[in-house]
Structure 1
Amino acid sequence: MPDRSDAEPGDKDSEGKKEAQTLTGITVTGSNLPTTPDAVAVPVTILGSEQIERIGVSANVLEILRKMIPSFAGRGNAGNSNANNNNQNTAGGSQVQLRNLDTLVLINGRRVATSGINGIGGKSFVDVNQIPVGAIDRIEVLTDGSSAIYGSDAIGGVVNIILKSDYEGVEIGTRFGFAEGGYQERSANFVAGTPIHGGNITVMGSTSHTDPLFQNQRPFSTPLTGRSSQVPGAVGANGLNPGALLNPSLDSPRDRNPTGSSATAGSIGDLINNGTYSASTPAGIAGTYDLSKYQTLLLKQDQNALAATFNSALLPDNRLTAFGDVELAKTKSYTQFLPVVTAVNVPAGAPYDPLKTAFPKVQFGYLPFTHNFNNESRDTRVTLGLRGEITDDWNWEAAYVYSSSLLTQKQSGLIYKPNLARAIAGGYDANGNPVTGGTYSGVVPGYNESNPLVFVPSLDPFARASGVIAGSLNNLYGTETIDASSRLRAVDAKIVGSLFDLPAGRAGLAIGASYRTESLKGRPDANGYNTGPTAQRWIGGTYADPFSSSRDISALYAETRVPITGADWNAPGLHDFDLIGAVRAEHYSDVGGSVVPKIGFHWQPFDAQVTVRGTYAKSFTAPTLYAMFGPTDTRIVGAGVIQSVFGLPAMPINGEDGNNPHLNPSKAKTAAIGVTLVPEVIKGLRLTIDYSDIRQKGFPGGIGFTNILQSINQYGSASPFFANLGVGNFPGASGATQPFTNPGDLLTYLKGGGSSLNLYAIDQFRNLGGIKEQSINISGSYEHPTETAGTFSVATTGAIFLHYKFQALPGQPFYEYAGYVTNGGTGVQGTIPKYHFYTSFDWRYDKWDLMLGNNFISSVTDIGPGGIVFANSTTLKRIHVGAYATWDLRAAYSVETPSERWRFIKEWDVAVGINNIGNRMPPLAPQAYTDNNADVSTYSPLGRLFYVSASIKF
């Protein structure tokens, strides 16, 4: 059953005096003051390594937290489910967010560098996947705003991952899981430790692999048609783009028509009349294109990690101790997108042009060459510190941290734009001699315009894959390589001790300071620059200019705990009452300073059976370096935006993500109150309920291309985003116009055959509106030991979202999102159920442990990608998404010191389990999730998963 640090047994010493701050206490997440976990004034959930092992999920911290702590809700919790979209670009990394709000991630209580993907415009987050699960001693989750303790990012709460330390011996473990469709996941880990010089060194390592899962391997995401009309073999016709599709019996128009200089057809109408093409519509053509053959639901991932912790006494009696930790991780991920398809204009006389004239709006692509992303992340972290005692009442600690995340992303299956027109044009013989109607083309090798031409068979852009001419793709498809890095260097120091004695106990004080430097870099492929002589040469790739920026952050902080009443000095209703206060002043070199307070109380009215605690805090999140100073990122925006906004076949648009050096930090106010009951009349029962109210405003983010298009179509020139959309070029650039002045003009344009690739939208970072979140976290556990039948226990943890109200821009209304599912716009993304519970039933008897687990998510309503503000103004409907419940079963057998013969083995265990016994698939939300038909981050697409695990200790 889950351990809970918010349990409240008594906290008195043998003399009846309260030891609020003692050197024998531990530092619990949420406080700088050493105390016992049951005496904190904030809600902290602790997941121990044994609990993590027993839930039976893959070796990924995100999946562990999402399953065991339901308040990790919303699309901000993105990981290997980020397989076929870029609106939550994590490059295979795993982000965690409590209540879909900014959440700070720590390792051993200190900061970690954010993922390098932010250096090329991806998400700014700490990749929890870099931490080997086998190295984790426990995870402490604080569901309370804590910028006064930790600084920026702690609006939703804090996740503190504590690595194993002080281990003696060797343990080796392994796990293997498999599901329908050949899916497999496997991992192995070890931990070894030994005493050294009055301390200990512990070394841990792990390796893990998860297979990719493709859309056509699951029934809810296949077939996936009607999403995109960009299909090889499609061409413009009858004022529609596309408006005709190649006869399925033909590989190319050349099979039925003379081409090039011999062409006889005068128009696309002639080709339709002779049966070469069939007239159609974008919707009709999209209905023939099954995307599920090409796209992944879950990424393929491989991780290798090594970690170590150490401590060593440099002076006796705790007067001086050295400590530290080291983590090294390399994570590779692979995901597959649709093949790149682009519209081309084929000039008159090109070898395979079936018209006597130029042929515009021809959809070219080669379906066997999918758009693939191969990411490799190399993460390093080193902590070196000293701690010691000054007196019996005071101690100190200081440390240095270096952390880095280096990312290399290779996007393959891209088209080298300068060679495309050359490859189509022809006009040469095999020796490179100009020949009228020649069926060879001159292209540059090596994707470098300074290289001399080489000659290859000309490209037939009208052909399907089966009709592609051998050699015509040479030097046309290539790979874009992008490098990015994020680094953090930090020093911190604090002094902790007891100020003086009060009648109820001793008052404690912690004061400290920190200084850190954050840096971020992005180095795109030379052919992927956004500006300059080599700019935008990869069709389908990412366009951005080189970027490098850094900032310095300094902070001073203080925290105190004052016992007002205690066992020896109290009053009726005030058996035990402490006040806690904290304040932090933090200064950023680029956005200025911020001072945030926090106050709280810890109250036992009568005795330890009832504990009440509460806090009020201010928190903040600083804008990212990329949002403030990053380069303009011009790219093709995913085709699903138009599909999800208007219900039309998916068509891409041109997008530009812009920086804003005038961004301000986002600010929040948090109020929380909680009650814990440990009734003596029911031994083994513990109940906890925590209420939180969070008000955040001005968070930095993009408007969202979905919001831009929906708003302009709804309001025309009255839209606040009217100036963010242009036709012909980006707004403000030469040739740009904006004709969509009336409501509905944009939809009329698209339905009338207007090219989506002629739309140019700018989504600049800005301080957006706000969030009003009110939720209740509930946990309960009961353990009943028996003399003959073992121990029975039940535990449950739940999140109830009373409200999750979102305001897109200052001055606009707040709209409710609790109980809804949406996927797009400005931060409100994913599924936010009103009720989400994880419950386990456990029976332990002798060497056996049998556990049954239940995951329940209440029903939600699919309102499409842009949210409630647009749900009633478009063709979108409100679709009921049913409640979701799955059951897990695990049986384990463990033996300690099995025999004299095998006495060098201390313990071994083996476990088998089934997750999702009923093979429940995610409920459909096809409007919000046009990419998969369902939210595969909140609801696992694996279905029934069998696994076996084993470990042995020496």
Structure 2
Amino acid sequence: MRAGVAPVILATALFQAPLHAQDAAPQADDGANDTIVVTGSLLRRIDKETISPITTVSSEDLAIRGITTVQQGIQNLSANNGPALTNGFSANGAFAGGASAVSLRGLSTSSTLVLFDGLRAAYYPLADDGTRNFVDLNTIPDAIVDRVEVVKDGASATYGADAVAGVVNIITKREVKGLHLQAEAGVAEKGYGANQRLSATYGYGDLSEQGFNAYVSAHYLKSAAVYNKDLGYPYNSDDLSGICHDGVCGPNNMANGVDPSIGFTGLSTATNVFMARPYDAATGAGTGRYELLNAAAGCGSLNPYTLTDAEYAANATAPHTVCQQDITHDYSQVLPEQQRWGISGRFTKIVGDSGEAYLELNYENSKSSYTGLASIIRANAPAGIDYSAYSTSTGAGLLRLPVYVCARGTAACDATNGTLNPNNPYAAQGQEAAIIGRLPTSTEYNESVSQVFRAAAGIKGDFGNDWHYQVDGTAMVSKLKTTAKGYVYIQHLLDVIADGSYNFMNPSATSQETLDYLTPTQINHSKTQLYQGQASISKEVFDLPGGPLQVAVGVAARYESLNNPSGNPDYDGQTERYFRLNAFGAKGHRDVESAYFELSAPIVEQLELTAAGRYDHYSTGQDNFSPKFGAKFKPIRELMFRGTFSKGFRIPSFAEMGALPTTGYVTQSIGSMPQEFIDQHLNSAGTGPNTYLTNYSIGQTTVGNPNLKAEKSRNITLGATFQPLNNLSFSVDYYNIKKTGAITSVNFSNAIANYYATGETSYDGVTVIPDEVDQEHTGSQRRIAFVQGSFINANTIKTSGIDFNAMGKFRLSDNITFSTSIDATYVIKLNTEYPDGTVEHYVDTLGNFNLTAGSGTQQWRGSWQNTLDFGKASLSATAYYTDGYNYSAEDQGGVAGDCSLVPTNYDGEAYQGCRVKSFISVDMTGTIKVNDQFELYANVMNVFNNKPPIDATTYGAYLYNPVVGESAILGRSFRIGAKASF
């Protein structure tokens, strides 16, 4: 650890506390004997000092911090790390676009179990990275959430699969009285990112006096899209020459840009102004340079640049004049447009002397949309299928305009039945026109609409001699409709080229009919279902010196299913599909039967021991027993020691067991390529790689394996709490998790290295699919487009760290109270060990790329909240801290800390230091209670207008890490709101 960082955070930890009211909080009021039940347990208890570390976030805590949604509050947890799925990542083409998910301990979204009122929830229909099941946090009914309890410990012994890293339990309100209204609106200081929220909840009845309560609640939330062009430099431009370090500045990555170091950077295929080059139709050889397809129209809205004589001579195919375009500025999006609304209702009834029954219904509708680039007309088809050949030999991968055009459907078109192609300027000379560019007539657009239907019912109470029972059931269906527009359908592209109906000379003159045919709207429907019932009974068997021995047993059964058909299959051939739309698809269902128990034995007043176990049987062939043991030792009233040992498991997802090919993308750094390969793709000045290797990524395609076994985990936690005063408490907990048989794809790196060395496309169970050719070096070895293999149980993952929590509350005067709190996590280790004994270390680096999209594993993460309460008013400030990290990742080659992924310019010089800087953001909230019924509040987010540190290597967002800086990228923003209760 770097000197200076840990002492500061450890010192502040002595005076601050968690993101919540207390370290262990109640899950539900049983209405009898003031007992509580905490998340992760079946048993009632009187004290709140739990054996497992639990963080509680109440709805009041979120309001004090100015947090609008429960989703955002969960994402801000210090234990949430690495592979978390944020809304900002969804705006950059994530597999599970439109969704959000938590990843405790950096073990991925599928190793954190999310519950609603202690019951499982249906998975989001799309898998994270096309592989991992998770529950979408955007479907939480915010208006009726009472609190969120986070068990930062393995909990498979209570809940079964997926509770490897912990549990997030979202607990809704048990009782609401009267009418409660809330309205708020916000916007960034510079005018973008407008957002609004409305909610109304009405409840009637008093459980304690009338024996029943019923309430209904509705909410609406909308936030506008934010684009890179809205932001300040450098987040709004491909020209990075203004980013400098030690006198070295970044590259100009604009399409057809001019770099200060090397001049013209090479001919781009990405602009929305077409360029053409003559090709011999018989031999397939290029016979001249590129030129503007429509010279009379010039560059249109783009900036023209005339090459110098030296640049012209050095680029064999470049024209005298090129069109420059800043793709990021013109198209890229930071946050999607989001719209959410929902309605919920609950009826609770006291039954008999001690029973309580409830019925809850929820409907949530979440819409997310984002725009992409201008439509692409030349690319590899997704999911590992190489569609690069519009012709053979030289120039493969180039789109060719033929010499003659004929009516659509003509088998063979030539001079006898066709006419000269009006889009081909070389037709009269009998030559084809190879064109590059993107369609200026359409832009890629993606929209997801999620509908969640949920019903839950249950009853609990007492019977006989100290017997307690609880029965719950839930049914949940998650439907997802995804819409994609502006994506080119390959066969239709070939059709409009062959009949000349798309006007490449003047695209705006193309008929709407042709445009609709070329980019037909693609709509896909997916659905997941979950039906679950569970029942438990518990009893105080006999008294021990420390209290009653409690035993609980339970059974559960559930059915879960997924139907996510591919939105871009190739069943009818490689051309009967879209460019760029991923072909991911998965389908499956399974039944799960479970039996479990729990035992609590307070041996003496100072010592409590617990034991729990659960057996799960899956119809897909997996069986697992998960034990857990815990101890709590309290030698004096102010001090408590606690510890747990547990084993758990993660069930293979439907996608991992039976998915269609799934493709994720990882950065291929220049430093990890052999010099012999780089030398085949040099720029015109011969000083470094050309744009063919710039921002290069490889698609890693993995196919499902129905024979996968469950991942197994071992979890140890050791901790202590210290409460010297009633208003001051501290806690520290050490966690150590080992996951074996971790599901992963086959090792792609060896096959990639072998391809670079030998050119072989098949190695050790992996198929390598080369990309299109380098048009500046057509005879060179092609870069890699995709590598393809299957999922296997192979790896061992180890992680450990320390959670620091503390809180204090002090009365400064009769009318003023000051409270302060901290929640901080220090990650000691996060490693992956492969079957061959190789170990990769990720802490303080950008790794694990395969799980995090390069968002890294930060060593420290924490928050510090301070509040002054004046009775009728309050003022709160919350600081969020995320540690910096080294530009390296062992799963991308090199060694942790070696700076191997530091971004370089075209001269190969690093224009940033070896570390992405640490980051602090401060939010403030002020409230005024006008009277007992009316309250006004105002939020200032990112008070000091700190922008996220530049990270030019992560690809979850442009030049910043979305897990670190999703909200801060907007700069300073404001929100005002009002609450009314009657």
- Indicate whether 1:538 and 2:578 are aligned: yes
SS at match of 1:65: helix
* Aligned match of 2:245: none
- Indicate whether 1:947 and 2:979 are aligned: no
CA shift, 1:51, in A, is 0.6
CA shift, 1:644, in A, is 10
d(CA) in 1 for partners of 2:442, 2:527: 29
CA shift, 1:385, in A, is 1.8
Q: CA 1:884–1:656 in 2, change beyond 3 Å: closer, same or farther?
A: closer
Residues 18-97 of structure 1 mapped to structure 2, 5 A cutoff = 24-36=34-46, 38-59=48-69, 61-67=70-76, 69-86=77-94, 89-97=95-103
* Aligned match of 1:552: 591
Q: Is the 8 A contact 1:559 1:582 kept in 2?
A: yes
* Unmatched 5+ stretches in structure 2: 1-16, 241-249, 258-264, 299-305, 379-398, 405-420, 674-688, 904-912
- Indicate whether 1:767 and 2:796 are aligned: no
* 826-835 vs 364-373, which moves further: 826-835
- Indicate whether 1:621 and 2:650 are aligned: yes
CA shift, 1:510, in A, is 0.8
Q: CA 1:115–1:307 in 2, change beyond 3 Å: closer, same or farther?
A: same
- Indicate whether 1:107 and 2:116 are aligned: yes
* Aligned match of 2:729: 686
* Aligned match of 2:612: 582
CA shift, 1:364, in A, is 4.4
d(CA) in 2 for partners of 1:414, 1:562: 63
d(CA) in 2 for partners of 1:797, 1:843: 19
- Indicate whether 1:824 and 2:849 are aligned: yes
CA shift, 1:797, in A, is 1.0
Which letter does structure 1 place at the counterpart of 2:460?
R
* Aligned match of 1:484: 526
Write the deviation string for residues 821-876 of structure 1: whole angstroms up to 9, x where unpaired. Answer: 24732567423221122111111113010112211222211226944547769775
Which letter does structure 1 place at the counterpart of 2:855?
G
SS at match of 2:127: helix
Alignment RMSD, CA only? 4.0
Equivalent residue in structure 1 for 2:816, among 782, 790, 799: 790
Q: Is the 8 A contact 1:85 1:638 kept in 2?
A: no
Equivalent residue in structure 1 for 2:886, among 843, 861, 868: 861
SS at match of 1:537: coil
d(CA) in 2 for partners of 1:296, 1:247: 17
* Aligned match of 2:444: 371
d(CA) in 2 for partners of 1:836, 1:58: 21
- Indicate whether 1:117 and 2:126 are aligned: yes
- Indicate whether 1:668 and 2:716 are aligned: no
Residues 69-218 of structure 1 mapped to structure 2, 5 A cutoff = 69-86=77-94, 89-101=95-107, 102-118=111-127, 121=130, 123-179=132-188, 180-195=190-205, 198-218=211-231
CA shift, 1:630, in A, is 2.3
Write the deviation string for residues 274-310 of structure 1: whole angstroms up to 9, x where unpaired. Answer: 9999764999999854223212111111000112222
* Aligned match of 2:563: 521
Q: Is the 8 A contact 2:840 2:891 kept in 1?
A: no
Which letter does structure 2 place at the counterpart of 1:820?
T
* Unmatched 5+ stretches in structure 1: 10-19, 235-241, 427-440, 442-456, 567-575, 730-745, 898-906
d(CA) in 1 for partners of 2:603, 2:90: 50
Q: Is the 8 A contact 1:645 1:866 kept in 2?
A: no
Identity %: 22
Write the deviation string for residues 581-612 of structure 1: whole angstroms up to 9, x where unpaired. Answer: 00111111113201111000111012x20011
- Indicate whether 1:268 and 2:288 are aligned: yes
d(CA) in 1 for partners of 2:222, 2:294: 53
SS at match of 1:178: strand
Q: CA 1:643–1:208 in 2, change beyond 3 Å: closer, same or farther?
A: farther
Q: Is the 8 A contact 1:80 1:92 kept in 2?
A: no
- Indicate whether 1:603 and 2:674 are aligned: no
Q: Is the 8 A contact 2:665 2:700 kept in 1?
A: no
* Aligned match of 2:425: 354
CA shift, 1:425, in A, is 2.4
Q: CA 1:464–1:594 in 2, change beyond 3 Å: closer, same or farther?
A: farther
CA shift, 1:494, in A, is 0.4
Q: CA 1:632–1:360 in 2, change beyond 3 Å: closer, same or farther?
A: farther
d(CA) in 1 for partners of 2:645, 2:542: 26
May I ask how many residue pairs the two structures share in their alignment?
Answer: 850
Q: Is the 8 A contact 2:877 2:923 kept in 1?
A: yes
d(CA) in 1 for partners of 2:436, 2:630: 63
Q: CA 1:137–1:747 in 2, change beyond 3 Å: closer, same or farther?
A: same
* 873-882 vs 321-330, which moves further: 873-882
d(CA) in 2 for partners of 1:477, 1:130: 31
Equivalent residue in structure 1 for 2:341, among 304, 327, 334: 304
* Aligned match of 1:317: 353
Which letter does structure 2 place at the counterpart of 1:311?
T
Q: Tell me the TM-score normalized by structure 2.
A: 0.79
- Indicate whether 1:223 and 2:267 are aligned: no
Residues 557-568 of structure 1 mapped to structure 2, 5 A cutoff = 557-566=596-605
d(CA) in 2 for partners of 1:187, 1:420: 43
Which letter does structure 2 place at the counterpart of 1:298?
L
Q: Is the 8 A contact 1:750 1:756 kept in 2?
A: no
Write the deviation string for residues 507-539 of structure 1: whole angstroms up to 9, x where unpaired. Answer: 0011001011110002345xx223236974222
Q: CA 1:685–1:514 in 2, change beyond 3 Å: closer, same or farther?
A: same
d(CA) in 1 for partners of 2:450, 2:113: 20
Write the deviation string for residues 668-700 of structure 1: whole angstroms up to 9, x where unpaired. Answer: 1110011111114xx521111111011112222
* 486-495 vs 198-207, which moves further: 198-207
CA shift, 1:55, in A, is 1.0
Q: CA 1:495–1:719 in 2, change beyond 3 Å: closer, same or farther?
A: farther
CA shift, 1:931, in A, is 4.7
Q: Is the 8 A contact 1:185 1:208 kept in 2?
A: yes
d(CA) in 2 for partners of 1:117, 1:614: 37
Write the deviation string for residues 889-920 of structure 1: whole angstroms up to 9, x where unpaired. Answer: 221111444xxxxxxxxx22111121111111
Write the deviation string for residues 704-732 of structure 1: whole angstroms up to 9, x where unpaired. Answer: 97x57865567769999654233479xxx
d(CA) in 1 for partners of 2:510, 2:199: 48
Q: CA 1:274–1:542 in 2, change beyond 3 Å: closer, same or farther?
A: closer
- Indicate whether 1:293 and 2:313 are aligned: no
Q: CA 1:83–1:564 in 2, change beyond 3 Å: closer, same or farther?
A: same
Q: CA 1:544–1:944 in 2, change beyond 3 Å: closer, same or farther?
A: closer
